A = this chain, B = another copy of it.
């Protein structure tokens, strides 16, 4: 459906989303089967933030932020706003005033596949943002789009109400219905990685810990002493 604002979308369980958030983007992404990562094109405008929330989505026309304004009204405490455009766009669709509005509603941050501006002010406010660009270029408010429809960023599909986790490694999306199982496997992964970390810190090799020596041999990788190779 085109040009709709979907109201009252069900959200992923807030408590589970908060627990997922603590585990971080890379862990959650791995745990759910190396899925849901929104790509290296979305970078944080600040260092060290890690947030999570439930997605409200906005689909805008390039150079036009009308639908972000419409999306604000659909946001509630615990949400994250996820914005993209119908064509690639780096314009500064979002700045301090919109962040003020979102912060007033308890929104935790912004993920935008376009540009943001007022980044000094946003950092000072402590409103975390992941964006495709920083740009002062202003936008108009003229063309219809949608709020709370499925959108696609970095080859992944984000549906309203999905869990979004964002940190220094980027942004991951977990489908709403999967957050419970994701938390379970992610916690198991964390436990396993803690063990691996100790083992590796003690000097054992990943080759042995993960049983990779046979794999190398099976794939025909040969060891050659320097000097015995031609080149």
Contacts and interface: CB of A to CB of B under 8 A. Distances in A.
Nearest to A131: B40
Contact of A169 (B2, B88, B134): B134
Interface string A121-158: 00000000000011111101111111011111101110
A26 B138 CA distance: 8
Stoichiometry, copies per complex = 6
B35 A63 contact: no
B120 A231 contact: no
B224 A6 contact: yes
A19 interface: no
B4 A169 contact: no
30 contacts: A3-B222, A6-B225, A6-B226, A26-B118, A26-B136, A29-B136, A39-B137, A48-B120, A63-B89, A66-B216, A69-B207, A72-B205, A86-B155, A87-B137, A88-B90, A92-B169, A97-B196, A100-B200, A100-B201, A103-B201, A104-B203, A117-B169, A119-B169, A120-B168, A135-B169, A135-B170, A144-B221, A148-B226, A152-B152, A152-B157
